[in-house]
Chain A
Amino acid sequence: MNKYDKNNFHDLQLLIYDALNGTISAERLASLEEILRNDPESRRYYIEYLSAHAGLRNIFSVDQASDASVPDDGFDKGLWHDLAEYEKSAPAIQIEKPAEKPVVLKLTKPEKTKYKVSKLSIYSVVISAAAILLVVLMVIVKPVRPTVAALTDSMNAEWMNVKDNPAPGDLFRQGDELALTRGIAEITFDDGAVAIVEAPVVFKIESPKSMFVTAGKMTAIVSEYATGFTVNTPSASIVDLGTEFGVSVEGDGLCSLHMFKGKANLISEANGNKRTSQVVVEYEAKSVNFTTGLIKDVTLDERGFVRRFNAENGTVWRGQNLSVANILAGGNGLDFEASYKMLSLESGQYSGVFNWQDRYGTGQYTVVTSNPYVDGVFVPDNDGQGAKVSSSGHVFADCPDTQAYFRYDIAMSVKIPLNPQSYQYNTLAPEEQMVRLAGSSNMPSRLVEPAGMNPQLNAVRSNVLLHANSGVTLDLERIRSVCPGVSITKFHSLFGMGEMAPEGGETDIWILVDGQRKFVRQNVRKGEVLDIEVELSEKDRFLTLMVTDSGPNSNNPTETLHANYDWGLFVNPRLELE
């Protein structure tokens, strides 16, 4: 039977446990060292004891505190009783006698000269055994790792070194070291700051108002009342001054700070060098070199950080604007390019086939059911009652009295062959040929641009064709759900007549918000390019884009159709977010 078969290490394990908890005196530390220095078996036991302790920490670490805590109400009363009985029959506690030299105990870590104590404090400590016990208790009662933050949302998140993948609502403790290997997570600190971390990232929860990022990227969203939130990194600390910013800790220890809103104090913490700090303001970005501590300007990475996400619909917002063409084509607006699609003004349904029959509107507003972000479509006209422009009954009273004629459905992402001269010109109008050919994927093409702009080969633009007379209404309230917590501040688009439209067209462009006119320009001709900006507020619900013919109105088909050649084209229509 060797020493391991029974507890021959009782004293040693108490020494180790005191060391672990920071309650070991200088003398007892010396004893521990002496044992370790001279006895190989004790060294072996020391290593195995600490290995077990580290294993326990690992097994139980970062368990969800809400699940882990023992609720008072649910406490096993029988066990409580057993334990109380155990306490009664437990061996008498041997209160450690004062050592020849004083016991010096630490409540917290910071001071590095802990073994140097004044004689006065020595005497005060050795006055009585009771005093010693009191101090021992004070050490032991030190609160251990309180919960200071919570996982408030996550998307496709996978964590490493965590027993169970944390779920929203689970709490994190001070000192929890976390590694997100996949997905995105939102952590809300007790002091109110929100951190969005994107895999791969390694970080530590430091306190209710600070975290440490070892490697990877995060975004801090700090409201006014949470000002002072601090992100520590190996080379710098960022102290928030009411703001939103991204932090990236790259290999080589390079830390970069990207300010999206407000301002923050950037403090260089480089190796032994003098600390320097700078206030970094909105739209600025700085990096700090780990070795030199040098702070320098870098380009703001506007799209490099996850700013918001919505796990329910799988959307991730990296600061981009929302593409209206993408939304109208059935997307959520976050992808810039829109697929080639048609939205029927009659049925409100999508198709990939362009319809070019002569048709007249019925005065009805058609709700689009297959796209949550598009409220409906209509053929603008006014027979004295105005035009209904939303499913909630908004009426545009000043809608012009048009011929109610339309020929083309609303088309997204219209493309044309590179060389317009190569069209097969037979019985179809040129614009019809263009749109038909747009669907041909093996043909070199580019997006249609309005006349007046310089054509660019394979230009990455998204566009929407609203040929007179047509109108479409977006549901801003639903679009806001793509990026919760973000404000839609503006509709912004270029507008002109399609470059391949024959000369002679004249059209009117209208932008409405909740049935109210926000922008109008009449008699737009080929070659004119408008830069349209319409401010939007949080209370705005519906945004309507409308293109009408210009000219005297009559439903008499024998008259000239004023909608001819009114090839209204929105280029890069977008909703700007803040």
Chain B
Amino acid sequence: MSDNLENSSNMGERSKTELFVKLLTSNHHRIYAFILFMVPNDSDADDLMQETSSILWEKFAQFVPGTDFAAWAMTIAKYRVLNSRKKKKLTVPLSNDVIDLLAGESEKVLDESNERFAALRKCLAKLDKREMLFVKMRYKDGFSARIIGQRIGASAKVVYRSESKIIGLLARCIHRKLAMEGAR
């Protein structure tokens, strides 16, 4: 440990809480995405994100300000994922070897989080009216496929498949944009 780095256990409670909230919120997306790669289910990932946040706060005294919070958090998150899997708490449990593979290969995507956000916004702008409506109803309003279907006069199944497809469209659009930017 570097001499000039202060252990967070030496800080006052309020400044410690402020630092934690700042670090957690600024890294929340990366930690959440990392969990989601290992646990590809919204409900499981939400639970694990909450559990991980609590553990991070509990162990925050061990964190050295100035070091990589996200890396520290992801180490803990992976441990929580494996622990939940072992305790059969997961709705969609991938095998340990697959979890290891995914965790190991996620770094590049997570490191590009900001660029990916920017690309996602641009790609959203390219969606047609119908696709954008699906996205908003699903992600903004939190409507189920059935309710969206009722509103637009489509079957839940069509809505469900369309949603799946639209995420794919966006994923590929982001991929292309980042590839183009990398080629410049």
Contact = CB atoms under 8 A, between A and B. Distances in A.
A87 B21 CA distance: 46
Nearest to A141: B146
B184 interface: no
Given A47-B102, A84-B152, A59 B21 contact: no
Interface residues on B, range: 35 or more
A24 B160 CA distance: 13
Interface in B30-72: 32-33, 36-37, 40-44, 46-47, 49-50, 53-55, 57-58, 60-61
B172 A19 contact: no
A461 B130 CA distance: 68
Contacts of A84: 152-154
A4 B172 contact: yes
Contacts of B151: 70, 75, 80
Nearest to B160: A140
A181 B109 CA distance: 28
A160 B87 CA distance: 33
Contact of B121 (A17, A45, A59, A177): A59
A202 B24 contact: yes
Contacts of B156: 137, 140-141
Interface stretch (A210-218, A359-367, A467-475): A210-218
Contact of A36 (B16, B98, B147, B164): B98
B75 interface: no
B154 A83 contact: yes
Contact of B21 (A53, A93, A113, A201): A201
A150 B42 CA distance: 23
B31 to A, nearest CB: 10
Contacts of B126: none
A131 interface: no
Contacts, number: 272
Interface in A21-44: 21-22, 24, 29, 32-33, 36-37, 40, 43-44
Nearest to A30: B95
B117 interface: yes
A16 interface: yes
B44 A52 contact: no
Contacts of B102: 36, 43, 46-47
Contact of B145 (A22, A24, A140, A181): A140
A251 B25 contact: no
A52 B167 contact: yes
Nearest to B143: A144
Nearest to B175: A4
Nearest to B152: A83
A250 interface: yes
Contacts of B129: 79, 82
Contacts of A20: 40-42
A17 B163 contact: yes
Where chain B touches its partner, the secondary structure class is helix
Interface residues of A, number: 93
A251 B167 contact: no
B139 A19 contact: no
B142 A144 contact: yes
A109 B144 contact: no
B54 A234 contact: yes
Given A37-B101, A212-B50, A55 B117 contact: yes
B167 A49 contact: yes
A47 B58 contact: no
Given A22-B43, A55-B116, A137-B146, A50 B121 contact: no
B145 A160 contact: no
B133 A253 contact: no
B6 interface: no
Nearest to B15: A200
Given A51-B33, A113-B88, A179-B24, A204 B50 contact: yes
Contacts of A51: 33, 37, 109, 116, 171, 174
Contact of B91 (A61, A114, A136, A252): A114
Contacts of A40: 105
Contacts of A65: 141
A202 B53 contact: yes
Given A82-B130, A141-B145, A251-B8, A48 B22 contact: no
B135 interface: yes
A47 B89 CA distance: 22
A60 B129 CA distance: 17
A161 B24 CA distance: 10
Contacts of B61: 251-252
B43 A49 contact: no
A175 interface: yes
A296 to B, nearest CB: 17
B167 A145 contact: no
Contacts of B46: 175
B154 A60 contact: no
Contacts of A140: 144-146, 156-157, 159-160
A13 interface: yes
B74 interface: no
Interface in A184-218: 199-202, 204, 212, 214-216
A68 to B, nearest CB: 4
A44 B105 contact: yes
A518 interface: no
Contacts of B13: 250-251
A59 B117 contact: yes
B92 A24 contact: yes
Contact of B18 (A24, A37, A200, A234): A200
B63 to A, nearest CB: 9
A336 interface: no
A314 interface: no
A123 interface: no
Interface in A106-141: 106, 109, 112-114, 133, 136-137, 140-141
B72 to A, nearest CB: 14
A173 B139 CA distance: 12
Most B-side CB within 10 Å, residue of A58, A181, A201: A58
A4 B90 CA distance: 30
7 contacts: A20-B42, A43-B102, A47-B37, A51-B109, A112-B88, A141-B144, A202-B57
Given A93-B158, A251-B9, 7 more contacts: A19-B92, A22-B92, A46-B37, A80-B152, A93-B155, A145-B142, A179-B24
